[in-house]
Amino acid sequence: MQKKLCLTFCLCGAMLIPAIGPGTVSAANGELPDRAAIADAYKWRLNDIYPNDTAWQADANKLKTLFSQVAGYQGKLGNSAHDLLACLKLQDEISILAGERLYPYARMRRDENTADNEYQALSGKAQSLLVEAKAATGFIEPEILAIPANKLAAFRRQEPALKPYSYFLDGLLLKKKHVLSPAQEELLFRSEDVTEAPADIFNTLTGADMKFPAVKDEQGQEVQLSPGRYINFLRSNDREVRRTAFEAYNNTYHQYRNTLAATLNGYVKKNIYYAKSRNYASALEASLAPDRIPVSVYDNLITTVNNHLEPLHRYVALKKKALQLQEIHMYDLYVPLVRDVRYQIPYDEGIKMVERALAPLGPDYALNLNKAITSGWIDAYETKNKRSGAYSWGIYGVHPFILLNYNNDLNDVSTIAHELGHTMHSFYSNASQPFITSQYSIFTAETASTVNEHLFLNHMLNQTTAKNKKIYLINQYLEDLRATVYRQTMFAEFEKMIYARAEQGETLTADSLERIYHDLNVKYFGPEMTVDKEIDIEWARVPHFYRNFYVYQYATGYSAATALSEQILTEGKPARERYINQFLKAGGSDTPINILKRAGVDMAAPQPIEVTLTKFAALVDQLEKLLAE
């Protein structure tokens, strides 16, 4: 979030080239510019973390001394409340230094230019320091768990300064019944390298060994298929291009169906083994336990979405009609309803659009948002060897940073809104919470960013009068919701089903996985959809199935964001104050479910998901009317 005006110049060869400013993203020859050619107003200020690399090294040396200090507490945490508090404070200091200063600085310097060997090396050193920090403090949690419950309770009464650690300590106590003897814990720890094999094999097979055929593009040219190119083929206006790409891509996975079934079966069995070893009722319960999410939340998502499949069925039917198809197939889902909608939005205008869209969040949010934009928090433009994509990185005790690769497209403006959502979440949390409770959970991580996206899309829809652009925006909104709520819930239901079968002793084979996946597609997409046999293998190419029970959080986070944004737009001040004070400022001070509930959203109930799917249905209605005009 950055934008300080600067008219610097840089030397490039023998030429003096003015620094690139608003709306200029490439050098004169069409190549990406060097970083030095970008005005400072459009670059982040990592000097806010360290003024130079010498200061970084001084803190790296200091960290080593902290390792020695914390080692002095090993074996003593049960002695007194004073020793426990001192050790926890020292752990915070180590974590801040390693994870909130040394590592982010080195990584973000590397991300500025991934070809810079100096910062590649510094990033490697920072990663090693993180590992050392984890090892140096690894004794703390087991020692706390070994303190008798009544004694730990007495420590907490005796020492008021332990109060900020209450949520952390309560979490450890909940975990206690799932912690084994030291010898058993050692065995489980040593087995992790071996049990990661299924995921490693999947990544190697699909990322390195699997080769995709060439297919013809819209010009009739042979083009090599790849995971990155596949979605562009599915968006083609030429239906034959879509069909052939769809068949070729999925049939490539089909050739390895038995191996891929074996890797997924092995990964599922691994998680069941660890869950049983730690006395959890199921692998699902074990996966949700760290964030204290009840299994009922997962089940509620699936049940509620299953009860609201009709709007998705209507959307499929509407798309079939709009595309004038006799049959709609799985490869027709991604093709846009309107073509040639183009936006050219310079960065400064994009920033203004986002500020206007987020005005419903109130004056305090606007003030801090402007600080983010004008104070060197954002790295805006793509440059040579800069890391691709976008992210927000919250640095406790400094401020968050945003990496963008802005290229004047509407999606780039939406990305600004998204990343600013993460950034403001980190900003408010870090400013309001002690370090130990400043980190929000994965369950809520995408909520703030998606609230901003919703507010931005609503703003764009309200400001847009051109029919084609309105259709484009509504279709984008529907596709985002379909992909994030319906699709991810289908994935979550698939996971639940295969784990249930494996926990009953069934081996997951390619045939059984394909049957389950086919039937889910029939159920979710409805009677108008022709569910092609090629889609049956899609489970085999979903990398998130190797992060067990992770995908449901996309759907819950999106639903929470939809409910919150609707409240902000309809209720005004009371809703935004709940959102900022009870959610953004809460960090990780309570369970994600409790934090969201105080903000006005109960994710243990159907209502937020119902609000989201009602929004989907209303957008289908709007789209239907526009297409009929």
Domain boundary among 179, 214, 245: 179
Task: Cite the active site residues.
Answer: 419
Evaluate whether residue 423 is within a structural domain: no
pLDDT at 221 over 50: yes
CATH number of the domain where residue 477 is located:
1.10.1370.20
Query: Got the DSSP string for 369-402?
Result: HHHHHHTT-EEEE--TTPPPS-EEE--TTS--EE
Tell me the residue range of the domain where 50 lies: 46-179
Tell me how far apart the alpha carbons of residues 553 and 45 are, in angstroms, rounded to a whole number: 33
Q: What is the pLDDT of residue 9?
A: 24
Residue 76 is which amino acid? K
Tell me how far apart the alpha carbons of residues 517 and 99 are, in angstroms, rounded to a whole number: 40
pLDDT category, 13, cuts 50, 70, 90? very low
Q: What is the pLDDT of residue 17?
A: 29
Q: What is the pLDDT of residue 597?
A: 97
Tell me how far apart the alpha carbons of residues 33 and 54 are, in angstroms, rounded to a whole number: 28
Q: Which of 13-27, 39-53, 203-217 has the lowest mean pLDDT?
A: 13-27
Q: What is the pLDDT of residue 576?
A: 97
361 or 15, which is more confident: 361
CA 243 and chain centroid, separation = 31
What does pLDDT average to over the chain?
Answer: 92
Tell me how far apart the alpha carbons of residues 243 and 332 are, in angstroms, rounded to a whole number: 8
CB 174 within 8 A of CB 292: yes
- Beta-carbon neighbour count of residue 496 at 10 Å? 19
Evaluate whether residue 229 is within a structural domain: no
Q: Dihedrals φ, ψ of 218, to 5°?
A: -65, -20
Evaluate whether residue 602 is within a structural domain: yes
Residue 364 is which amino acid? D
pLDDT at 164 over 50: yes
Structural domain total, the chain: 2
CB 585 within 8 A of CB 430: no
Q: 304 and 163 share a domain?
A: no
pLDDT in tens, 272-319: 999 999 999 999 999 999 999 999 999 999 999 999 999 999 999 999
Q: What is the pLDDT of residue 18?
A: 30
CATH number of the domain where residue 70 is located:
1.20.140.70
Beta-sheet strands, E only, within 330-482: 378-381, 391-393, 401-406
Evaluate whether residue 126 is within a structural domain: yes
Tell me how far apart the alpha carbons of residues 185 and 163 are, in angstroms, rounded to a whole number: 29
Contacts of 450 (CB under 8 A, 6+ apart): 418, 421, 557, 558, 561, 562
DSSP state of 38: B
Domain boundary among 179, 196, 219: 179
pLDDT category, 23, cuts 50, 70, 90? very low
Evaluate whether residue 578 is within a structural domain: yes
Beta-bridge partner residues of 20? 38
Tell me how far apart the alpha carbons of residues 202 and 270 are, in angstroms, rounded to a whole number: 14
Contacts of 376 (CB under 8 A, 6+ apart): 1, 2, 4, 43, 44, 45, 48
Query: Got the DSSP string for 252-304?
Result: HHHTTHHHHHHHHHHHHHHHHHHHHHTT-S-HHHHHHGGGT--HHHHHHHHHH
pLDDT at 12 over 60: no
Tell me how far apart the alpha carbons of residues 4 and 310 are, in angstroms, rounded to a whole number: 50
pLDDT at 465 over 60: yes
pLDDT at 170 over 90: yes
CB 202 within 8 A of CB 545: no
Tell me how far apart the alpha carbons of residues 426 and 368 are, in angstroms, rounded to a whole number: 12
pLDDT at 628 over 60: yes
Burial class (CB in 10 A: 0-12, 13-18, 19+), 472: buried
Go through 257-292 and write b for each residue having 16 or more CB atoms within 10 A of its CB, e for each that does not.
beebbbbbbbbbbbbbebbebbebebbbbbbbbebb
pLDDT category, 341, cuts 50, 70, 90? confident
pLDDT at 358 over 60: yes
Beta-bridge partner residues of 403? 379, 391
354 or 193, which is more confident: 354
Burial class (CB in 10 A: 0-12, 13-18, 19+), 451: buried
Beta-sheet strands, E only, within 158-231: 214-216, 222-224
Q: What is the pLDDT of residue 29?
A: 54
Q: What is the pLDDT of residue 30?
A: 61
Contacts of 219 (CB under 8 A, 6+ apart): none
DSSP state of 77: T
Residue 542 is which amino acid? V
Structure tokens at 402: 């945003």
Q: Dihedrals φ, ψ of 323, to 5°?
A: -85, 0
Helix residue ranges, H only, 205-238: 227-234
Among candidate residues 305, 315, 245, 328, the one with its CA nearest the CA of residue 484: 305
Strand-strand pairing, 529-530 and 328-329: parallel
505 or 336, which is more confident: 505
Residue 217 is which amino acid? D
Q: What is the pLDDT of residue 614?
A: 97
CB 470 within 8 A of CB 461: yes
Give the CA-trace dihedral at 229, 524, 603, 456, to 10 degrees: 50
Question: Which range is most confident: 30-39, 180-189, 222-231, 573-582?
Answer: 573-582
Evaluate whether residue 218 is within a structural domain: no
pLDDT in tens, 363-385: 999 999 999 999 999 999 999 99
Does the pTM exceed 0.85?
A: yes
Evaluate whether residue 106 is within a structural domain: yes
Q: 174 and 307 share a domain?
A: no
pLDDT category, 188, cuts 50, 70, 90? confident
Tell me how far apart the alpha carbons of residues 151 and 148 are, in angstroms, rounded to a whole number: 5
Q: What is the pLDDT of residue 495?
A: 98
Beta-bridge partner residues of 17? 10
Evaluate whether residue 291 is within a structural domain: yes
Domain boundary among 153, 179, 205: 179
pLDDT category, 35, cuts 50, 70, 90? very high
pLDDT in tens, 384-427: 999 989 999 999 999 999 999 999 999 999 999 999 999 999 99
